[in-house]
Every structure is written in structure tokens, then in C-alpha cells.
Amino acid sequence: MTTIKDIVKRTGLSLGTVSKFLNGMPVRADNRAKIEAAVKELGYSYNDMGRSLKTKRSGLIGILIPSLNEAFSAEIITRAEEVLRRENYAALVSDAMFSTEIEREYLELFVRKRADGVIAVPVSHDAAAYSRLREAGIPLVFIDKDPGGADAFLLDNEPVCRDVAVRICAAGHRRIGILCGNEGLQSADERLKGFIEGLKQCGVKPDARLIKRGDYTVDGEARRMVDELLAERPDAVFASNYYFTLTLISAVNEKAVPLSSLSYVGFDNLGFTSLVRPVPYLVTQPMSEYGRLAAEKLLARIRGDCSPPAAVRLAASICAGETLLRRPV
């Protein structure tokens, strides 16, 4: 039967280093590679439950997302797991399916599984929904929304949406519409606020008939909003999230709306742009940064970082495409 001493002999590393790795603690990358290779080659097996009882760590990190169908969520999971794997943590990925009830069930699961920490793209806007984790002493990091009480990594929505409005106005458009999420949704409120500030900065009065807000997660709702907005015959439209962008592009193509009568700017550059012509003009989030930064911060909390929780704003960029044209005079 292979023992830890056999791993020590095969790798040439100290007993302390090998034991540290097998107990779920971080070690240097080159040492980790040697130990993992020896474990596989020698067929060494170690007891995760016994390790958990000894170290009071489970080696599990909960990742809670609103929907597995979102490319945004997939990118977060990928980047977070890259960081977590390097430190010998496994991710327990859970799909809340935009349901606060399912979200609550998974938070209870993380507590029962004794997760060492949780990364969450929250469905609920209420910090109380996450009180169970705090009661259990489980570190928590939010992404995209900030219910409060924990670290958060968020997009700096207002400046980039203000810039979008200014660019649309600079192209000569005045009847400018926006598709936006429900009132009370943090990112949607911020994007609308920045956009309206940009219009006012350019001397354009926002038209309430051209501001469409709704729950894009409900089947058919995004398309209904798009159709209502296009019926108002705007000069230009800002689709302020990924769902609205896809829905707007689909509707414009179906209705054969020419760019000469409708310019638009979308949100989130998630790879589909290579398939769309003309190439959309898009706001681009730093997608790869969210998961990485959240995982790094969570690990720091697990190691004992006791600094006050902080919300970090990440800057977006704008990819100038072909769908924002100067309005004919």
C-alpha cells in the first residue's frame, strides 16, 4: 500500500511540503505538479473527509450563478476555477435559474457541505438572503450585484453608458431609445442613469416612450419590449444587456430594418459578433477579470484577510462596430 513516505521519496520533497498539499493547503506550483504526478503514478489515495476533519476545511468553494445558459456566467466559472484549482480547491457550481427560492436552497447546501467560501452572482437584491453564510462564518464575494455585507466586483456602469449616449448624440441622433432591466436591478438602474445623464449632457431630452424597462428573464418579454420600442420609430437604440442585444439584432433582421433608419449599440462582446453582419457597436465588459479577481479575494479571506468589505468597480470599454451611423441631415 502506497504511503505518504512513498510520495516523499518519489518527489524528493520534504514530508512537510507533501503533507501540506495533501491536507489541502497551497504549495508552490512546481511542487504541486511533482506531488500530483507521484500520486497518480503510485496510485496513492487519501481520505478527503479525514483531511477535512483535521484541517477544518472542506476544499470546496461554492459558485452560485443566476443561469448556466449565460455566457457571462460560463466565463466567471472558468476564470474562478483556474484560480481555485491552483490552490487545490474544487468548485461546487450551482444554477439558481433566476429563482430566489432556488438561490436560498443552494446557499443552505453550501452550509451543509461546509464550503470554505462562496462566489455569488446574486439573484436576490437583499443582503439578508446571504445571512446564513455569514452566520456559518463562510467568506463570500459577490459579482455583478452588491446586496451588501461582503466584497463585490462590479462593472462601473454609469460612465460607459454615459459615453454611449454621447456617442449616439454625436452621430446626430435625437430620438434615442434604451432597453433596460427592471427598476430595482442594480446594474439596470445604473446603466439607465448614466445613459440619461449622457443624453442631458448633449441637450437631448429623454423621451419616456423610448425607455423600455422589463424582466428580460421572462420568456418573450425582451421581444415584446423590442417590438414596442421599434414601433415608436426611434433613430437609434441602446440595448443595455446581452439579452436585449441578441433580441434587438434578431428583430432588426426579421423586420429588415435598414441601418439608414435605425442605428444601435449593444452590450457584451461574447463571441457572437463574428457571426453578425454588420458588426455590432458594443460595450464590452472585462469578462475574464470578474471570476479571477473574485476567486483571489475569496482565497485571501479564507487565509485570514480581515479588512473591511469593499466594492471594486471595473471599467468597461466600447468596441466601435458598424451599427452606429451618422444620421443623414
pLDDT tens string 298-315: 999 999 999 999 999 999
Residues 87 and 163 in one domain: no
Q: Give the pLDDT score at 271.
A: 64
The rounded distance, in Å, linking the Cα atoms of 211 and 135 is 41
Residues 201 and 119 in one domain: no
Residue at 211 is within a domain: yes
What band does 2 get if pLDDT is binned at 50, 70 and 90? Answer: low
Residues 281 and 164 in one domain: yes
What band does 138 get if pLDDT is binned at 50, 70 and 90? Answer: very high
Residues 144 and 243 in one domain: no
Domain that holds residue 45: 4-54
Average pLDDT, the chain: 88
Residues 77 and 121 in one domain: yes
Residue 175 has pLDDT above 50, yes or no: yes
Residue 307: give its domain's CATH number.
3.40.50.2300
Residue at 319 is within a domain: no
Residues 226 and 124 in one domain: no
pLDDT tens string 71-116: 778 888 999 999 998 888 988 888 898 899 999 999 999 998 889 9
pLDDT tens string 8-28: 888 998 877 887 677 656 678
Residue 25: give its domain's CATH number.
1.10.260.40
CA-to-CA separations, 141 to 16, 153, 296, 301, in angstroms, rounded: 31, 8, 10, 9
**Phi then psi for 66, rounded to 5 degrees?**
-70, -35
Number of domains in the chain: 3
Residue at 190 is within a domain: yes
